[in-house]
Structure 1
Amino acid sequence: MPVGLIALALGGFGIGLTEFVIMGLLPEVAADFRVTEASAGWFISGYALAVVVGALGLTAAVSRFRRKPVLAMLLVLFIAGNLLSAVAPDYWAMMAGRVVAALAHGAFFGIGAVVAAGMVPATKKAAAIAMMFTGLTAANVLGVPLGTLLGQAAGWRSTFWAITGIGVLALAGILALVPKAGNDDTASGGLRGELRAFRSGQVWLSILVTILGYGGMFGAFTYIAFTLTEVSGFAASTVPWLLIVFGVGLFIGNTLGGRAADRDVDRTLLAVLSVLVVVLVVFALSAGNQVLTVGSLLLLGGFGFATVPGLQMRVMKYAAKAPTLASGANIGAFNVGNALGAWLGGVTITAGLGYTSPIWAGAAITLLGLAVMAGAAARAKATARRVPAPDMTAASAAVASPTAASPSGLETEAAGSGQAETADVGPVSVR
């Protein structure tokens, strides 16, 4: 894999750490600013909302600029937000720092996925995207526990100073290691060209699968601490260690899911979502057994995150001529899925259905996502049968010179996968 992917992964590590480490530091932050923990919780909610805004609005705003400088600018924004959080004198300054850092989140992963895919041959694009998201999984496995320990030992501000330093290192890596050729080009046709990608019904279906497939996993995970302590009977002190098991599953699933998606995106997503439904059902039925619960946590993380490279790759494939904004929109969709799963899980608990009810709700959401994915795959296969075989001579030339073919180098792959979806056939065409 190109060394530039390490810089992208480091940026992903810092951003993932910023998003999740605050959960372990909320008591200290709330006490320092003299607010309730509920008020401090808005540092999490406000961040998530700003991610969606940045994934769409900021990505659209920078679509006409070269991608490598845009990634560098986003990391400067990320550094500034965490620096503001580290020195924040009051609650609202801290909130401003969280929002500023979050604005870079969605755009960085959206644009970074396009850049990562452009660094490698067509057969390794999903694996390259998975490599970038490895930083996010590492943030969950290692960064959050270590960041929480640092914050508890040296004050919560020390954690944000450390994240600021990680951002500086990632910025230096982007500038030094991410190549210019074929990756820092501008989006095709600017914002208007990027918006044209949303005429594809497959792009919208891919985004919907992201919301439902990822939302199901996150809905089960949001209230997992209550399930582990109240149903499985684990002591509260063991929950952080059990979450590391979940994080290990994330890491494995992300890696293997990327490799499988490179072979066949749709088949991989159908298989992984099917198994994820089964895992959630088994988890809900066996949550009272501690041994089975540990195994379920590992599998939940593994199959839940195995969808991520494929989901990101699929939306980019069907928006191949203008993937940047669609890629950013899909990052926003992951966060919409987070919110949907967490909300529905909370509804089931409030209704008195017990602490396994969010897992059942997650299984239902994932099953719905599987149904949408099955329909999307069937439509794509039907479209591919109607599309003439591509000119292999032209395709070979495109692979040899990805910059000339498209900004992301993805057109050749999409040509054989129903890329006719992006033809100008009206506002939205699902075939």
Structure 2
Amino acid sequence: MDLRLVWLALGTFAIGVEGFVIATLLPAIAADIGVPIATAGYLVFAYALAYAVGAPVLSATTGRFDRRALLAATAVVFAVGAFLAAVSQGYWMLLLSRLVIAACAGLYAASAQAAAVTLAPAERRARAVSIVVAGTTMAVAFGAPIGAFISGFAGWRGTYFAIAAVGLVTALAIWIMLPSGIKGDRRSLGERLAVLSVPGIVPALLTILLYMAGPFAAFIYLGPLTQSMGLAAGLLPFVMLAYGIGAAIGNTIGGQLADRFGANRTVVLAMITNAVFLALLSAIPAVVPQALVGPVYFAFMFVWGITGWIFPPAQVSRIVALAPNAAPLALSLNASFLYLGTALGAVVGGQIIEHVGIDELGLIAAVFPLLALAVFFATRPRPVLRPRLG
């Protein structure tokens, strides 16, 4: 294995930790800075929106820069953003810090994958990209739970200090390990967006937006959800660990299912099962005896992680099949729409908690995977019927 790819993956690991651990930090953040939990949830909305919009724009404007210098600088600014978040004294400073982090996260993820393609020989490029992306998977499975554990004894600010440290280590490693002269993608923003004209791409992107809005409407508010089950806040790191391990397994299974049964069948399976699990999330405290809520909830989070995360690799397969000649650009937009879905989920979840009640969160969130399913079936290509001759 090329060790340079491991250091690139460390950056995606840091990004993933910050992006997912926030779900366990929101109650502490809300209490510390004196805002309602729904208002704290808009920190996720701002982050996701900045990532979705910033990634293609910044990638286009920095395409001429050397990748080593760009990645190292981006990691440093990411670390500065995490440090500012750690020392922030109010809501708006924390919001601004997360916007900085999000912009760097989107630029780093796109640039790291492009650098991995350049560093690897042609026959190993897919594997090289998978190593960089694996940093995110490891962040979900282990990094976010570790961040939650850190917050347990050092507070949410301690978690951000740790993230800042990882960002600095990444910047130093990239500067030392990567060669200079790695060229970027010089295509303009217009050229990058031209992939939207490929038949089927827009419906596929709308599908992932709606799909991600459902689970993230609930996942972002994992802290108050766990407490609504009658469980102690101190169990949050273990809840996150159960979900994260399930997500890592689901990510692997999703790729295997897509290869064996087809990407379209796999995403349909994911949309249906995710809607079912979100609906069941609202049913746990109502139908499960309180003495069994803890074990059932942990098992539920583990299985939900599996079923929820079979979607992303299958969606990647769909995107590549739709635009094989522009796969990197299409996948970049796929990531942007994924985060737009996260942003939508943050808003929807906050509004549900504020105006309906957390007990109904999963049931209402289940509508979004079903909407994604409706878009999928409404826009899939229809077979051409040919008249019989004779």
Instruction: Using structure 2 for the length normalisation, give the TM-score.
Output: 0.77
SS of residue paired to 2:310: helix
TM-fit CA distance, 1:19: 2.9
Contact 2:14 2:166 in 1 (8 A): yes
Give 1:249's aligned residue: 246
Candidates 309, 314, 325, aligned match of 1:310: 314
**Aligned-partner Cα distance in 2 for 1:369–1:206:** 9
Superposition map of 1:318-333 within 5 A: 318-333=322-337
Counterpart selection for 2:255 from 250, 253, 258: 258
Q: CA deviation at 1:311?
A: 2.5
Q: What whole-Å deviation, never above 9, does each CA across 1:390-422 have from its counterpart, x for those lacking one?
A: xxxxxxxxxxxxxxxxxxxxxxxxxxxxxxxxx
Query: Would you say the 8 A contact 1:194–1:324 is kept in 2?
Result: no
> Aligned ranges for residues 106-121 of structure 1 at < 5 Å?
106-114=106-114, 119=120
Aligned position for 1:78: 78
SS of corresponding position for 2:200:
helix
Aligned to 2:388: none
Q: Deviations over 1:184-234 (max 9, x none)?
A: 55437544432321211322122111111222221233344444443x443
Return closer, same or farther for 1:339/1:178 CA change in 2, 3 Å cut-off: same
Q: What whole-Å deviation, never above 9, does each CA across 1:57-91 have from its counterpart, x for those lacking one?
A: 21232345565654444323313323444555776
Give the equivalent residue in structure 1 for 2:34. 36
Match of 1:204 among 202, 205, 209: 202
Aligned to 2:373: 370
CA shift at 1:156, angstroms? 5.1
Q: CA RMSD in A?
A: 3.9
AA of the residue aligned to 2:304 = L
Instruction: Give the letter for the 2:208 counterpart.
Output: T
* Cα deviation, residue 366, structure 1: 0.7
Shift of 1:279: 3.2
Distance in 1 separating the partners of 2:27 and 2:233:
16
Gaps of 5+ in 2: 386-390
User: Is 2:25–2:223's contact at 8 Å kept on the other side of the alignment?
Assistant: no
Aligned to 1:357: 360
SS in 2 for 1:255: helix
Give the match's secondary structure for 2:57.
helix
1:125-175: CA deviation from partner (whole Å, max 9, x where unpaired): 4x7655434333433443334334445545655433322221133234445
2:51 corresponds to: 51
Structure 2 contact 78–101 (Cα < 8 Å) conserved: yes
Aligned to 2:339: 335
- In the TM superposition, residue 250 of structure 1 has moved relative to its aligned partner by 1.4
CA deviations 1:359-382 (Å, max 9, x no partner) are: 222322112212333455x42x85
What residue number does 1:171 align with? 171
Q: CA 1:248/1:216 → structure 2, altered by over 3 Å: closer, same or farther?
A: same
CA distance in 1, matches of 2:238, 2:269: 29
1:256 and 1:143 mapped to 2: Cα distance? 21
Give the match's secondary structure for 1:257: helix
Secondary structure at the aligned position of 2:147 is classed as helix
What does 1:188-203 align with in structure 2 at a 5 Å threshold? 189-203=187-201
Q: 1:148 and 1:193, CA in 2 relative to 1: closer, same or farther beyond 3 A?
A: same
Alpha carbons of structure 1 residues 306 and 6: separation in structure 2 relative to 1, 3 Å: farther
- Look up the equivalent residue of 1:198 and give its one-letter code: L
2:160 is matched with which residue?
A: 160
- State the percentage of identical aligned residues: 31
- The answer for the alignment partner of 1:100 in structure 2 is 100
Tell me the TM-score normalized by structure 1.
0.71
SS in 2 for 1:344: helix
**Rounded Cα–Cα distance in structure 1 between residues aligned with 2:330 and 2:173:** 26
Aligned to 1:397: none
Question: CA separation of 1:194/1:251 partners in 2, compared to 1, >3 Å: closer, same or farther?
Answer: same
1:329-376: CA deviation from partner (whole Å, max 9, x where unpaired): 322222221232343344445554x54432222322112212333455
Number of corresponding residues: 376
* Contact 1:54 1:105 survives alignment (8 Å): no
Counterpart of 1:250, as a letter, is A
Q: CA deviation at 1:14?
A: 0.7
CA–CA separation in structure 2 for the residues paired with 1:304 and 1:30: 27
The superposition leaves residues 305-333 of structure 1 with CA deviations (integer Å, 9 ceiling, x where unpaired) of 22123334533554444445543332222
Higher RCO (C-alpha 8 Å, min separation 6): 2
213, 216, 223: which one pairs with 2:214?
A: 216
Matched ranges for 1:112-131 at <5 A: 112-114=112-114, 119=120, 125=126, 131=131
Amino acid at match of 2:369: T
Letter in 2 for 1:79: A
Contact 1:111-1:324 within 8 A present in 2 as well: no
Answer whether contact 2:51 2:105 (CA < 8 A) is retained: yes
Query: Which amino acid letter does the alignment assign opposite residue 310 of structure 2?
Result: A
Mapped to 2, the partners of 1:31 and 1:351 lie a distance apart of: 20
